[in-house]
Amino acid sequence: MAVLVDDARWEWRGLRWAHLVSDRSYDELHEFARGIGKRRLGFQGDHYDIDEVDRERAIDHGAELVDSRDLVRRLRDAGLRNRHDKPAWRRLGDWPPGVAASGAPHDLIERARALRLDPTDAHVGLFVDLRHRVLLCDLPPSVPVPDPAAPFATGPRADGWWSVELFHPA
């Protein structure tokens, strides 16, 4: 049982992309992805799409390199192949650092403040799908992150920024 990554061979937006999956559980996959700086919003129903830089980070963090066919086979064998339940995120708002996130749900702003996170220090985005509302706060390296071990914070991304995602039922 492992976190798996295939070759970065799918081109999109000038980059090559790979897939990151777990053949054990989605929880294992989310934890691993968070550790290499991937946002939970990037989850594609059974995998994360990762670019070449994140693929190298994944391999450095212990992901097993497999070919695409083996990746899909192991995902299916584990009962984790899910092609039909992909989140369909819609962005409802976007506020740059230094601007109050007016229009963002008060309960999510209060949750951020309860975690000692000032949304005005971050680039804030509000996303919704059928099941969740998500307040995404991207923090520059100069802003302290609340608790990097908390389940809502990613590890530092390749650019040094952190993402804090506050999920709430829709």
Which pTM does this prediction carry? 0.82
What value does the mean pLDDT take over residues 8-26?
A: 94
Residue 116 has pLDDT above 80, yes or no: no
Report pLDDT digits (tens) over 31-73. Answer: 999 889 899 999 999 999 999 999 999 999 999 999 999 999 9
**What is the tens place of the pLDDT at every residue in 134-156?**
989 888 888 877 666 565 777 77
**Mean pLDDT throughout 68-91?**
90
Kindly report, residue by residue over 87-110, the tens digit of the pLDDT: 888 999 998 888 877 778 888 888
What is the SS3 assignment for the chain? CCEEECCCCEEECCEEEEEEEECCCHHHHHHHHHHCCCCHHHECCCCEEEEHHHHHHHHHCCCEECCHHHHHHHHHHCCCCCCCCCCCCEEEEEECCCCCCCCCCHHHHHHHHHCCCCHHHCEEEEEECCCEEEEEEEECCCCCCCCCCCCCECCCCCCCCEEEEEEEEC
Confidence of residue 23 (pLDDT cuts 50, 70, 90): very high
